[in-house]
């Protein structure tokens, strides 16, 4: 009986992880939330113009260089805090309202969104979708059942 139970659980587990389309949106959502929190931490640490960016198949948190000779890992003339990359064939990302500057959401020195507009981030795959909110004050939370991000 135990061997049959282990066999059934193994078959179910392999099926869940073999389908990347169900897993990728969740992973992308978690990575976007992490990138947002890292950008906020950089803002609170006094870094110059920290932001989270969503472009192509990557998401990253970084801040702009204050000094021309500042030593850091660079991307687009800015210091990368953390970069995440996933295959975008499996999911789509939407940001509402859209960030104006190249998919970047900037944070102020208190960790809030610089333009004071709350954002709804949606990650949709073939079989699942996830949404989370970034409030104008910088709080990152799961979208409530009411369906809107206010604040």
The helix (H) or strand (E) run that includes residue 83 is strand 78-85
Give the homologous superfamily in CATH for domain 22-66+73-143: minor pseudopilin epsh domain (3.55.40.10)
How far apart CA 12 and CA 71 sit, in angstroms, is 48
What's the pTM value of the predicted model, to 2 decimals? 0.72
Helix (H, G, I), strand (E, B) or coil at 55: strand
How far apart CA 137 and CA 124 sit, in angstroms, is 25
- Tell me: the pLDDT tens digits for 41-65? 888 888 888 888 887 667 778 887 6
Tokens of 51: 């932001």
The sheet carrying 119-125 orders its strands as 91-96, 119-125, 129-134, 140-142
- Tell me: the pLDDT tens digits for 80-136? 777 776 666 677 888 888 776 677 899 999 999 989 988 888 888 878 888 889 989
């Amino acid at each position: 009986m135990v061997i049959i139970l282990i066999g059934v659980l193994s078959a179910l587990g392999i099926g869940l992880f073999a389908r990347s389309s169900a897993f990728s949106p969740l992973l992308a959502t978690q990575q976007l939330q992490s990138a947002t929190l890292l950008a906020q931490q950089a803002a609170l640490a006094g870094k110059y113009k920290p932001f989270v960016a969503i472009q192509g198949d990557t998401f990253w948190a970084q801040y702009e260089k204050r000094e021309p000779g500042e030593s850091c890992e660079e991307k687009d003339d800015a210091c990368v805090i953390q970069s995440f990359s996933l295959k975008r064939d499996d999911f789509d990302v939407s940001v509402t309202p859209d960030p104006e500057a190249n998919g970047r959401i900037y944070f102020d020195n208190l960790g809030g969104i610089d333009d004071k507009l709350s954002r709804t981030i949606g990650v949709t795959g073939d079989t699942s979708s996830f949404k989370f909110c970034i409030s104008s004050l910088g709080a990152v939370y799961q979208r409530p059942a009411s369906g809107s991000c206010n604040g």
